[in-house]
Amino acid sequence: MIRSILVFPDPRLREVAKPVTRVDDEVRGLVEDLAETMYDAPGLGLAATQLGVPRRVFVVDVAGEDEPSALRAFINPELLERAGQQTLREGCLSFPGVGEEIKRAAWIRVRALGVDAEPFELEAEGLLAVAVQHENDHLDGVLMIDKLNAIKRRLVSRKVARARQTEE
């Protein structure tokens, strides 16, 4: 089911997500909804907190348009290691029309549960590493705007406010 995505400055985006205690049909349904909503938006990732669901779950798919889907679900993710640094232009479905250069680790190692409730570890670099870090930040109530200096934060806030006014 396609759900509504919260838009900044909705205070629910700042809520720290709680761990999933059991991977059951409800959690698997949430993963399906996250994927459908992300693809519909369209986006590369979506965290449960962006739907107003404070659970530690997110999905990413960084496959190119001419590539098969590479959907990955992360339940209770933990970033174990980070190395290097890269700067990429990031967007966020909770900041429509905004794209900013953000510094993040170039390589990461993450551990999570999959929809089958089995633990897995993943090493990632490039766009996948950025997407995982971005979505994991959402679970901690950290937003893309928090990675910007004060001037850029004000500009982004104004841009989002103007976009919301034109929608209404």
The residues that are catalytic are 135
Do 136 and 114 touch, CB atoms closer than 8 A?
A: no
As given in the structure block, the two tokens for residue 21 are 């205690």
Do 93 and 46 touch, CB atoms closer than 8 A?
A: yes
SS3 164: helix
As given in the structure block, the two tokens for residue 161 are 């406010």
Instruction: Tell me the chain's radius of gyration from C-alpha atoms.
Output: 15
* Dist. CA 69–CA 87, nearest whole Å: 25
As given in the structure block, the two tokens for residue 25 are 């049909």
SS3 44: coil
As given in the structure block, the two tokens for residue 58 are 């997110």
Do 109 and 81 touch, CB atoms closer than 8 A?
A: yes
* Dist. CA 134–CA 121, nearest whole Å: 17
